[in-house]
Amino acid sequence: MNGSNRPRVLWASRFGFVLAAAGSAIGLGNIWKFPYITGQHGGGAFVLVYLACIALVGVPILMAELLIGRQGRRDAVGCFAVLERPGSPWMIVGWVGVAASFILLSFYAVVAGWSFDYVVMAASGALRGRSPVEIEGLFGVLVSSPGRVIFWQGVFVVATVAIVLGGVRDGIERCSRILMPALFILLLVLFGRGLMSSGGVPALRFMFQADFSALTPQALLDAVGHAFFTLSLGAGTMITYASYLDPEADLGGLALRIALLDTLMALLAALTIFSVAFTAGIEPGSGPGLVFQTLPILLLELPFGSVLALLFFLLLAFAALSSSISMLEVTVAYLVDEKSWPRWRAAGLVGIAAFLVGVPSALSFNLWQDFKPFFGRTFFEACDLLVSSYLLPLGGLLVAIYIGWVWPRRHSLAELGAGRQQQRWVHSWQLLLRYVAPAAVIIVLLNQMGVFR
Ligand code: TRP
């Protein structure tokens, strides 16, 4: 029997879907990566370019993924069997998605595990009364302990599996209804605190005063790549989530809401982190260590610093969890829909597999840090490169080509509910999807392959 014969569980409400999809989008990408790449690329001008990439490349592809999922009503691979025919070559898009989201989950859990460890450190008072040098050193102590890192990676995977086991409505949606508002409130508290400190105004200036002379070609490429990552595109995630949508939902409106929430959270997180940094007179360009090393030092210098640090790492952990469940759901949905596996078996076994594949990534910071067989990269770096720089852009490119060029236009019009004034919108969307998005992604991919060097 094929799983598609069973009645499909749908989201309890569209708002629940928006929370879950925004939960997928809002993650380490927003709170850890966006602030540090914005810092490295000099602020304002990069922010503008990033916003343009979200609007011109991200939202059109997001809409295309929602369209595929809602129309196919199956997992990311099965959708193309429905929209085309079983065995269609387009099913490769789904396979790219399953591979990308699985590998992503394996190493995402490692970094997310660090945030769990920091939650415990902050809650137990281990951060209090330490000098800045000591706090900075805690990160090194953590990542160089294989046992500790693997333990928290495992805890994180177990938490992810536990939520996905509950199913779409009672697991993912219910959890998102708690995690997302909590996330928002935590971020607002920290943002308010940051803005009131003396670094608030310099942070606003850094983020919103564009100095285009600081912009490099690499910044443009990073902005496109990050737009993919932050909206969870190219990995079958949004296709899978949209397959649980009711047939009447307005996809354009939903896509806009998801993108707006994601962008809002990224901007708030960056402003918060920069205002704390500027208060302490630190330049925001300090790289990946910004969140785990610089930020705790700075937070602890503020009144109630250890509470603020606890709130911050809770925020990071929640954001990571609402993203990782969406990664796991892609493969679980595939096994449930195509192989008729019971959900518990799919979630359990995929979780164990993702954990095991993630162990070498956890070891990349300690025992295996000098083991670099992948063109001078550690296992962790190789996984990140494969997924973020190749698989996600490839998946997104194929989605854009499929909906832009292959899927009949009248179907898009019907699906997007365009009879009335919306025709114009759908037309602009199609132009972006047919020309702008593929061109941008192809340039990024060619650059990755070193064609421009
Ligand atoms: N978007 C999330 C973040 O910003 C990560 C994420 C979840 C993701 N699912 C994904 C990234 C699928 C790419 C593909 O952290």
Q: Are 5 and 289 in contact (CB under 8 A)?
A: no
> Please, what CATH class does the domain formed by 3-448 belong to?
mainly alpha
Number of helical H runs and strand E runs in the chain: 23, 0
Q: If you take atom 10 of ligand 1, which residue's CA is the nearest one?
A: 232
Q: Rounded distance, CA 153 to CA 355, Å?
A: 7
* 274 Cα–ligand 1 center, Å: 23
**Substitution site in 110, 232, 316, 326 for ligand 1 pocket (most atoms within 8 Å of beta carbon):** 232
Q: Rounded distance, CA 436 to CA 57, Å?
A: 7
Q: If you take atom 14 of ligand 1, which residue's CA is the nearest one?
A: 232
Determine the length of the chain. 453
Q: If you take atom 7 of ligand 1, which residue's CA is the nearest one?
A: 323
**The token pair that represents 56 in the structure block:** 């011109």
Q: If you take atom 8 of ligand 1, which residue's CA is the nearest one?
A: 232
CA 16 to each of CA 63, 139, 397: distance values in angstroms, whole numbers, following the listed order: 18, 36, 28
pLDDT of res. 1? 39
**Substitution site in 54, 104, 316, 394 for ligand 1 pocket (most atoms within 8 Å of beta carbon):** 104
| Entry pTM | 0.94
Q: Where are the domains of the chain?
A: 3-448
Phi-psi domain of 287 (left: phi exceeds 0; alpha: psi -120 through 50; beta: other) = left
Q: Are 229 and 59 in contact (CB under 8 A)?
A: no
**pLDDT per position as a tens digit, 306-355:** 898 999 999 999 999 999 999 999 999 999 999 999 999 999 999 999 99
| pLDDT < 50: residue spans in the chain | 1-4
